[in-house]
Amino acid sequence: MGNELLEKYVLFRHRDVEDIHKIDGYTANDGYTALKKALETMKPEDVTNVVKNAGLRGRGGAGFPAGVKWSFIPKDIFPKYIVVNADESEPGTFKDREIMTYNPHQLIEGIIMCAYAVGAETAYIYGRGEFRTLFLGRLQEAVDEAYAKGFLGKNILGSDFSMDLYLHLGAGAYICGEETALLNSLEGLMGQPRSRPPFPAVEGLYAKPTVINNVETLTNVPPIVANGADWYHQFGTERSPGTKIFSLSGRVNKPGNYELPLGTPIRYLIEECGGGVIDGKAVKGILPAGASSAIVGPEALDVTMDYEAMAAAGTMLGSASFIIMDETVDAVWAAEKNVKFFKHESCGKCSPCREGSFWLTSVYRKLREGRGSKKDVEMLETIINQMEGNCFCLLGEFTVPGVRTSLALFRDEYEALARNGDEMAQPDHNLVLAEQMLNSQSKV
């Protein structure tokens, strides 16, 4: 169930082919033939060009074209690095771990081709700390198998190209999925973001040119190189080509990962793949990009899941982690949960995020404990207005859309929780202080 729109899986090939996680199973099913083609018949820039022409967009959230990113890497600076972002900490996202567990060689083959394309000899897969078992088990086994068969190491497949691939685990922090914090963590520094520019393509790992791509992005590369850019364009829309893995969770009958062409309507994901909403309840809200999402209501069910249509609907595709709220879900409870996540994961480097997420959780707690007033509901707006555009990195900015859209869509639930008029509520001196502090805050 879930791939009726695809004849065969492009990324989740393990669902069609047994044992593809083992190197013999992978090579028996065309595995590493794209790499052979690239090394034997293509120049490095040809590989970049085919990825560029395919229109492959980064699957880590921003949707930046992968081939364009690779073309930014300077040719004359050495060494250069590939860093694979396998942090996958966005609530509701659980696609990369399925690739790494069940189809790891397709990812490894994609990494080798990316390294060949940009002239890098060292690559790292950076995973969050919770992936310890996966990294010490399945994924490491696949890397060892690739070395043993000559797909990694010196003179790959008898060519002049050599490279090494290492697995690295962080300690488990959402901010370490942000590419510059990830680089700091990989270098052994505190996982806090760096200023950009310089961008990692110019000054990345150890201040050298670095490509950072998501696991799913690079897993697309072998089939693109094997079959060509036109083949890839048969899936998806003109500006969002290809297939995408949608992680579906929340109040649906069959949560899970579903690989579908980009441009498939949200309704298809929920009803055909997810078996509809539990107990046939109505959809109340959809978070298409996990906790970072602007929430959209049921009127968005026929919006197509591609970068452009989701933005036009007032939200974003992000890493495509669709969390479904039904009519039984308490909207204020749900928003509070997200805000607590952001407060917990704030790295503390800048005050709009560190303080803003703290005060948001305080106001939510007050409201949910029945101690709030309408003024507190307005305070939520004041806080997010102060945070928006002032945070050092996107983690802080991601806190805002969920609160703003929750307030807009479910205002009645907030007001029902708030006390009836300011005069009934005791002044909360902490919140008065927060308001003063936020009003006097300068831009970071």
Task: Indicate whether 291 belongs to the interface with ligand SF4 (CB under 6 A).
Answer: no
Q: What are the backbone dihedrals phi and psi of residue 357, each rounded to the nearest 5 degrees, phi first?
A: -70, -30
Provide the pairing of β-strand 81-86 with 122-127. Answer: parallel
The stretch among 52-60, 129-137, 229-237, 350-358 that binds ligand SF4 (CB under 6 A) is 350-358
Torsion of CA 335, 336, 342, 345, to 10 degrees: -140
Listed in sequence order, the DSSP H helices in 178-220 are 179-186, 215-219
346 binds ligand SF4 (CB under 6 A): yes
For the bound state, the minimum distance from the C-beta of residue 393 to ligand SF4, rounded and expressed in Å, comes to: 3
Going by C-beta distance under 8 Å and a sequence separation of 6 or more, which residues neighbour residue 37?
Answer: 225, 226
Of 164, 159, 97, the closest CA to residue 128 belongs to 97
Q: Which does 87 bind (CB under 5 to 8 A by kind): ligand SF4, ligand FMN, none?
A: ligand FMN
Number of H helices, E strands in the chain: 20, 8
Task: Compare residues 60 and 396 and give the one whose CB is closer to ligand SF4.
Answer: 396
Q: Which of 95, 349, 366, 375 binds ligand SF4 (CB under 6 A)?
A: 349
Quick one: which segment of 58-66, 315-323, 341-349, 375-383 binds ligand SF4 (CB under 6 A)?
341-349
Residue appearing with tokens 């901010």: 175
Q: DSSP character for 264? A: -
Residue closer to ligand FMN by CB (options 342, 410) is 342
User: Cα 355 to the chain's mean position, in Å?
Assistant: 25
- Mask: binding to ligand SF4, 157-196, rule CB under 6 A, as x and -? ------------------x-----------------x---
Residue closer to ligand SF4, measured from CB, 15 or 354: 354
Give the residues lining the site for ligand FMN (CB under 6 A).
58-62, 64, 85, 87-90, 174-175, 177-179, 212-214, 217, 393-395
Integer Cα distance of 322 and 300 in angstroms: 13
Residues 6+ apart with CB under 8 A from 385: none
Q: Considering only CA atoms, which of 199, 10, 206, 225 is closest in space to residue 117? A: 225
H helix runs in 91-150, sequence order: 96-102, 104-118, 132-136, 138-148
Residue 58 site contact among ligand FMN, ligand SF4, none (CB < 5 to 8 Å, cut-off depends on kind): ligand FMN
403 counts as binding ligand SF4 under rule CB under 6 A: no
User: Which of ligand FMN, ligand SF4, none does residue 348 bind to, with CB < 5 to 8 Å depending on kind?
Assistant: ligand SF4
**From CA 339, how far away is CA 322, in angstroms rounded?**
18
Q: What is the maximum span of the chain, computed from C-alpha positions, in angstroms?
A: 80
Q: Examine residue 396 and tell whether it contacts ligand SF4 (CB under 6 A).
A: yes
Dihedral of the alpha carbons of 198, 203, 205, 209, in degrees to the nearest 10? 130
Residue 257 binds which entry of ligand SF4, ligand FMN, none, CB below 5-8 Å type-dependent: none
214 binds, among ligand SF4, ligand FMN, none (CB under 5 to 8 A by kind): ligand FMN
Q: Which one of ligand FMN, ligand SF4, none is in contact with 64 (Cβ closer than 5 to 8 A by kind)?
A: ligand FMN
Rg of the chain, C-alpha, whole Å: 23
Gap between the Cα atoms of 216 and 236, Å rounded: 16
Nearer to ligand SF4, 80 or 349 (CB): 349
Which one of ligand FMN, ligand SF4, none interacts with residue 391, CB within 5 to 8 A by kind?
ligand SF4
Q: How far is the CB of 342 from ligand SF4 (least distance, A)?
A: 8
Identify which of 126, 62, 134 has the alpha carbon closest to the alpha carbon of residue 88: 126
Q: How far is the CB of 177 from ligand SF4 (least distance, A)?
A: 11
**DSSP string for residues in 203-272:** S-GGGS-EEEEEHHHHHTHHHHHHH-HHHHTTSB-SSSBSEEEEEEEESBSS-EEEEEETT-BHHIIIII
Helix, strand, coil shares of the chain as percentages rounded to 5?
A: 50, 15, 35
Applying CB under 6 A, among 163, 393, 407, 418 the residue interacting with ligand SF4 is 393
**What, of ligand SF4, ligand FMN, none, does residue 354 touch, CB below 5 to 8 Å by kind?**
ligand SF4
Query: Is residue 350 a contact residue for ligand SF4 (CB under 6 A)?
Result: yes
- Interface with ligand SF4 (CB under 6 A), residue from 51, 391, 403, 407: 391
Helix 44-54 to helix 104-118 angle, to the nearest 10 degrees? 120
Q: How far is the CB of 206 from ligand SF4 (least distance, A)?
A: 21
Q: Residue 316 binds which one of ligand SF4, ligand FMN, none, with CB within 5 to 8 A depending on kind?
A: none
Task: Give the whole-angstrom CA distance, residue 436 versus residue 433.
Answer: 5
Please give the size of the binding site for ligand SF4, defined by CB under 6 A. Answer: 14
Which two tokens mark 88?
């996958």
Give 149 or 354: the residue with its C-beta nearer to ligand SF4.
354
The site partner of 60 among ligand FMN, ligand SF4, none (C-beta below 5 to 8 Å per kind) is ligand FMN
Binding site for ligand SF4 (CB under 6 A): 175, 193, 346-350, 353-354, 391-393, 395-396
